[in-house]
Amino acid sequence: MPYFEGSQDKNEEFLTCTDAMQVIIDKYGEAIPIKFLGDFNVQLPRSEVTSNNWYKSKGSNAHSRLLSDFIVGNELSIADLFYKKTSYTYFNISRNVRTWIVHVFSTNHDCCDINICDLVSLDDGNVSDHLPIRILTTLRVQHYNNSIPIETGHSDSLFIN
């Protein structure tokens, strides 16, 4: 997602990205589990929002509000905040900046299928300024024959790493 600079062009780029995610939710949201993960370039509230101006606090911005409204409006869960084991996902050592801008969003109806959502620790092999995020989820597969669900008595699981 584009970084917030306060320019109208970046706001339009950001909205284009959320619009693309909205198309996916509108088309597939009721039928399949949806996960969005990556560098969203925004901090999100870590607790319930109690002020209309929360996004004006340090570290947040207008994109934070847009993405938060998108998450709430689509009844998504922010999975990375449930599994938080560190205080940052992005760092800039020379500017002494650390922030939480890499996220995992899940549709609420299948959020319970996320088994692991964590950050891979910083090591010599990671030359990025972001900590990699890892998700392990159970994918339930329903078998179909001529568009009629076949009851198998159990759900199959596929683990994605």
Report residue 131 as tokens: 């900590």
Q: Are 4 and 63 in contact (CB under 8 A)?
A: yes
Report residue 106 as tokens: 């899940």
Architecture in CATH of 8-160: 4-Layer Sandwich (3.60)
Q: What is the pLDDT of residues 120-144, one digit of tens each?
A: 776 767 677 777 777 888 877 766 6
| 157 vs 160: CA distance, rounded Å | 10
Q: Determine the average pLDDT of the residues in 27-32.
A: 86
Q: What is the pLDDT of residue 16?
A: 92
Q: Return the half-sphere exposure (C-beta side, CA atoms, 13 A cut-off) of residue 43.
A: 18
What is the CA angle 152-30-107, rounded to 5?
Answer: 100
SS3 for 22? helix
Query: How high is the mean pLDDT of the chain?
Result: 75
Task: List the chain domain ranges.
Answer: 8-160
Q: What is the pLDDT of residue 149?
A: 47
Lowest mean pLDDT among 6-10, 11-15, 39-43, 143-147: 143-147
Q: Are 131 and 99 in contact (CB under 8 A)?
A: no
| 56 vs 116: CA distance, rounded Å | 32
CA 118 to chain centre: 12
Q: Determine the average pLDDT of the residues in 13-20.
A: 91
What is the CA angle 2-22-130, rounded to 5?
Answer: 35
> Is pTM beyond 0.75 here?
no
